[in-house]
Amino acid sequence: MRVKIGKSKLYGKVTAPPSKSYAIRGLMCAALSNGKSRIINPLISDDTEIAAAALEKIGVRINKNDSFWEVNGGSFIAPKEGIYCRDSAATIRFMTALATVVPGKCRLVPSPALAKRPIEPLITALNSINIHCYKEGSTVVVEGGNFSGGNIEMRGDISSQFLSALLFLCPLAQNGLNIRLTTPPESVSYIKMTIDCLREFGINLDVSESFRFFSADYQKYKPASYTVEGDWSSASYLLAAGAIAGETETTGLKTDSLQGDRVIINLLQEMGAKISAKGDSITVKRADLKPIKADLSDCIDLLPTISVVAALADGQSMFYGIRRARLKESNRVSAVREGLERMQVAVTEEEDTFIINGGSPKGAVIDSFGDHRIAMAFGLLGAAIGDTVIEGAECVSKTFPQFWQIFAGIGAKAESYV
């Protein structure tokens, strides 16, 4: 699907979608709890549906209603067939860990795109505690049912999801599970989110101040009613819309959230946008934009959003800590660079630094590379300058299926066609 976008004025009040990261973490914890849990305000998207379907394959029963999902967990069976994880990195990584407590063999099958993303460090970590886990081609195979614990050492600077996956296992080890990161962790906010979710289901971990050492005594997950808060990553597009093309009010956000991407309001404010907060509502008004320098290492998903805003700021912006953005649904550093260059914006891409010389971008045809965050970010820029087409625009269904409808609802001149 293509979306053609004309120059637009964006005004309106919208509600942030529920957090994908918290919704999937809640599902995993509910699956590990013996009894009925409720995931309240679940995100309905490709990634959450994939995670739910994966859990159902190992015997978890999930009843879906409009406002909540009821999860009956605590008892697992060996799946009769492979578990297709499609493009969901969180699903294949978290399920690789959960499969260690499933009796029998689990085969986790990625899409071709997901197969390009790393999982070997997690496999190596599980092998180190005598879990038979390996790859057959791109499929991850786990022979579970004999998890007892042990000591794990792994790097902390590749993906926080590897650690989060292991943290789900920590309280299930009869002999204890101790995890030491050999390098400082990146995306600490996501680690904090996992710990927060575990706590909601009755699990308490021992965590060092440096977030490099983790352990837990044997504990049992407790069923819970878990409410999913608004997603700051998805809200970043709604907030940035006000900063570049009008005025938007976004509700359903916790200003004290553990989500690292909440810093989007600080970044937009530093760039000159007028921002006000009241309760769970954030209002952003357009203003003359200024270039900034910022470290994105703990909010790497904001790279596309803040880059398109920087393209409209007259001067040079520099973003650091961007290396891991190359390991997402696309190589986001290259995808953003190519999109901006098509819009006649000068960009310099270095290993861990991204430099944008903003000012006067021009409309262009943009390849989303099948990446939801690239599609949404360049959709925003298209609304600010007009004459833009987003190719592969349907990929927003991964995390924000209603994006184009909501975008049009706040004034975007967006027309979809095949």
Is residue 164 domain-shared with residue 237, that is, in the same domain? no
Total structural domains within the chain: 2
Q: Which of 227, 243, 274 is the last residue of a domain?
A: 227
Chain centroid, CA 392 distance in Å: 19
Cα–Cα distance between 142 and 162 in angstroms, integer?
15
Coil/strand/helix, residue 43: coil
Structure tokens at 115: 């197969």
Question: How does the average pLDDT of the chain come out, rounded?
Answer: 97
Q: Which residues are catalytic?
A: 301
Is residue 269 domain-shared with residue 373, that is, in the same domain? yes
**Is residue 120 classed exposed, middle or buried when 0-12, 13-18 and 19+ CB atoms within 10 A define those classes?**
exposed
Per-residue pLDDT of 228-247, as tens digits, reads 999 999 999 999 999 999 99
Is residue 106 domain-shared with residue 205, that is, in the same domain? yes
Residue with tokens 């294949």: 92
CA torsion, points 359, 344, 316, 242, in degrees to nearest 10? 50
Cα–Cα distance between 238 and 242 in angstroms, integer?
7
Q: What is the CATH number of the domain that holds 292?
A: 3.65.10.10
DSSP 354-402: EEEEES-----EEE-TT-HHHHHHHHHHHHHH--EEEETGGGGGGT-TT
Is residue 234 domain-shared with residue 218, that is, in the same domain? no
pLDDT at 146: 82
Is residue 24 domain-shared with residue 12, that is, in the same domain? no
Is residue 325 domain-shared with residue 359, that is, in the same domain? yes
pTM check: above 0.75: yes
Is residue 363 domain-shared with residue 293, that is, in the same domain? yes
Domain with 344 in it: 2-17+230-417
Q: Which of 211, 227, 243 is the last residue of a domain?
A: 227
Residue with tokens 């820029």: 381
Per-residue pLDDT of 310-330, as tens digits, reads 999 999 999 999 999 999 999
pLDDT in tens, the chain (418 residues): 999 999 999 999 999 999 999 999 999 999 999 999 999 999 999 999 999 999 999 999 999 998 999 999 999 999 999 999 999 999 999 999 999 999 999 999 999 999 999 999 999 999 999 999 999 999 999 999 889 999 999 999 989 999 999 999 999 998 899 999 999 998 999 999 999 999 999 999 999 999 999 999 999 999 999 999 999 999 999 999 999 999 999 999 999 999 999 999 999 999 999 999 999 999 999 999 999 999 999 999 999 999 999 999 999 999 999 999 999 999 999 999 999 999 999 999 999 999 999 999 999 999 999 999 999 999 999 999 999 999 999 999 999 999 999 999 999 999 999 8
Residue with tokens 């962790």: 185
Is residue 37 domain-shared with residue 174, that is, in the same domain? yes
